[in-house]
Amino acid sequence: MDTQKTYLVFGATGHTGQHFTSLALQNGHRVKALARTPGKLTSRNPNLEVHHGTITDPPDLDPLLDGVDAVVSMLGDAQLQQTSPINTAFIRKLIPAMRRTGVTRFLYQAGGLSAAPGTRLSPALWTVRNTIARSYIGQHQDNEAVMRYLTDDAMDIEWMVHRAGIGSDGPSKGVLERSHKRMSIATFLDCASYNYRLLSDPTAIHTCDPSAYQN
Ligand SMILES: NC(=O)c1ccc[n+]([C@@H]2O[C@H](COP(=O)([O-])OP(=O)(O)OC[C@H]3O[C@@H](n4cnc5c(N)ncnc54)[C@H](OP(=O)(O)O)[C@@H]3O)[C@@H](O)[C@H]2O)c1
């Protein structure tokens, strides 16, 4: 087992977050989760500590960050994000709390249809975003605002953004790796495993890359 770490997870009840939480616990780590529907987390692992709460009216974050090695966000509420950038508002509270408590590492999962700061999506991805994936535009705009905030105002934090491709349920399809050019339609399980590995990859700090399956 690696040295035991403590992860503070936001979105632990979601598609990616459930797998990430299981993986971290299976590897002997501790997980603290802030969940608005804690009942979705059925694990009785003593290393799992669940706090009931919402990011739209968050509790005092400083005690939650106590003893934490890294923070992981796999948050999303596509319907609410159509009108309100809830993730950006929350991350703007989280980063100062991380500074206050000396927690430096942060992984944020965005989407492959969210453009990294200073870049544009390819015409093909832009078309997908504005047609079949139109109902997620607010979520992508929110993710883009988070990436801009991290780039402009949080370079003192060891953040890393995973721009995951469209996700699907099901078993592993292989191992995802960071890619500048390619983006795979991956399973949530593989995205979670990629996030877990990315957290201990110093070369991923201050990157907003997508992931793709190894050839
Ligand atoms: N799904 C995809 O195909 C896909 C692909 C690429 C990237 N992404 C990106 O990856 C991120 C996570 O995606 P996902 O599909 O794994 O997530 P998801 O299944 O939609 O789950 C989102 C998580 O956020 C939590 N959440 C939402 N609003 C909250 C609030 N107010 N307070 C506390 N928790 C809240 C949800 O809690 P509840 O369980 O209570 O709802 C859930 O745990 C998103 O930013 C998305 O843009 C998704």
Quick one: pLDDT at residue 103? 98
CA distance linking residue 164 with residue 156, whole number of Å? 24
CB atoms within 10 A of CB 83: 8
pLDDT at 31 over 60: yes
Q: Is 36 in the pocket of ligand 1 (CB under 6 A)?
A: yes
Q: Is 13 in the pocket of ligand 1 (CB under 6 A)?
A: yes
In this structure, is residue 58 part of a structural domain? yes
Q: Is 211 in the pocket of ligand 1 (CB under 6 A)?
A: no
Our count of domains for the chain comes to 1
Quick one: pLDDT at residue 1? 56
pLDDT band for 166, please (50, 70, 90 cuts). confident
In this structure, is residue 1 part of a structural domain? no
pLDDT band for 6, please (50, 70, 90 cuts). very high
For the chain, the first-to-last Cα distance in angstroms comes to: 28
Query: How far does residue 1's CA lie from ligand 1's centre (Å)?
Result: 29
Quick one: pLDDT at residue 2? 72
Query: How far does residue 77's CA lie from ligand 1's centre (Å)?
Result: 6
Quick one: pLDDT at residue 132? 94
Ligand 1 atom at shortest distance from the alpha carbon of 18: 43
Q: Is 21 in the pocket of ligand 1 (CB under 6 A)?
A: no
170 DSSP assignment:
S
**What is the domain extent for residue 30?**
6-213
CA distance linking residue 12 with residue 8, whole number of Å? 9
Quick one: pLDDT at residue 192? 98
Domain of residue 71, CATH code: 3.40.50.720
Ligand 1 atom at shortest distance from the alpha carbon of 80: 28
In this structure, is residue 52 part of a structural domain? yes
Quick one: pLDDT at residue 215? 77
C-alpha dihedral (193, 13, 205, 97), degrees to nearest 10: -150
In this structure, is residue 12 part of a structural domain? yes
Quick one: pLDDT at residue 3? 94
Q: Is 71 in the pocket of ligand 1 (CB under 6 A)?
A: no
Quick: pLDDT tens for 58-112: 999 999 999 999 999 999 999 999 999 999 999 999 999 999 999 999 999 999 9
In this structure, is residue 155 part of a structural domain? yes
In this structure, is residue 72 part of a structural domain? yes
In this structure, is residue 162 part of a structural domain? yes
The one-letter amino acid at 113? L
Average pLDDT for 43-47: 97
In this structure, is residue 66 part of a structural domain? yes
Helix axes 123-130, 137-153, angle to 10 degrees: 130
Q: Is 16 in the pocket of ligand 1 (CB under 6 A)?
A: yes
Quick: pLDDT tens for 102-154: 999 999 999 999 999 999 999 999 999 999 999 999 999 999 999 999 999 99
Residue closest via CA to ligand 1's atom 18 equals 14
The one-letter amino acid at 22? S
Ligand 1 atom at shortest distance from the alpha carbon of 140: 47
Query: How far does residue 139's CA lie from ligand 1's centre (Å)?
Result: 10
Kindly give, in sequence order, each residue whose CB lies less than 8 Å from that of residue 206, ignoring residues fewer than 6 positions away: 151, 155, 158, 159, 160
Q: What is the 3-state secondary structure (H, E, C) of 171-190?
A: CCCCCEEECCCCCCCEEHHH
